[in-house]
Amino acid sequence: MMKYILYIVISFISFSFQTSVEKEYHKEYYNDGSIKSEGWKMDGQKIDYWYSYYPNGTISEQGHFWNNKKQGYWYFYSSSNKLIKEGHFINDKAEKWWIIYDIAASNKKNRITRKYQYKNNQKNGYCLLYKNDKLFKAEKYIDDQKTGEWTDVFSFKKDNPNASL
């Protein structure tokens, strides 16, 4: 009986040591010493929240990782720190709705914001285009290919009676 109890205790202790991997904060650097990225790692895998930086020090992207794969909501920025796009990742693939911002237009009145539906890292579903925060066009995509376009709500609803946007 004593040997049996001793065997269980030793097995439990060795199992505890094998499964007690702690997460630690990790930083990566460019050759010039400026920070490239930072976030949490566990067992050599990126997990939890991470920041990546341009060489000039501004954030290029930020979001969650799980087992070295992008997971959850992410934000992407230009090197001048303007938000370029934001959206969902599932298992390192773009999914659900993504918002793409037009940062190239110098005049705010000419800026177009696009909201795309993604599935399996491809545009699949609708794209809504806004100018001055007003919807002016809708497009439909299947496997990254545009299959339809509407410039008024009436024709869109007529062609897509079951669409829920």
The confidence score (pLDDT) of residue 71 equals 97
110 and 54 in a single domain? The answer is no
Number of domains in the chain: 2
Residue that is last in its domain, among 46, 62, 91: 91
In a domain, 11, yes or no: no
In a domain, 49, yes or no: yes
**Residue 7: count of CB within 10 angstroms of its CB:** 10
The confidence score (pLDDT) of residue 148 equals 93
111 and 69 in a single domain? The answer is no
The confidence score (pLDDT) of residue 110 equals 75
The confidence score (pLDDT) of residue 7 equals 58
The confidence score (pLDDT) of residue 74 equals 98
User: Which residues does 85 contact at the CB level (< 8 Å), separation at least 6?
Assistant: 75, 76, 98, 99, 100, 101
- Per-residue model confidence as pLDDT tens for the chain (165 residues): 556 565 565 655 555 455 567 999 999 999 999 999 999 999 999 999 999 999 999 999 999 999 999 999 999 999 999 999 999 999 999 999 999 998 776 667 778 899 999 999 999 999 999 998 888 999 999 999 999 999 987 888 888 888 765
In a domain, 147, yes or no: yes
CA 53 vs CA 5, 22, 127, 142: distances in Å: 54, 25, 29, 33
Domain range for 119 = 96-165
Residue that is last in its domain, among 33, 60, 91: 91
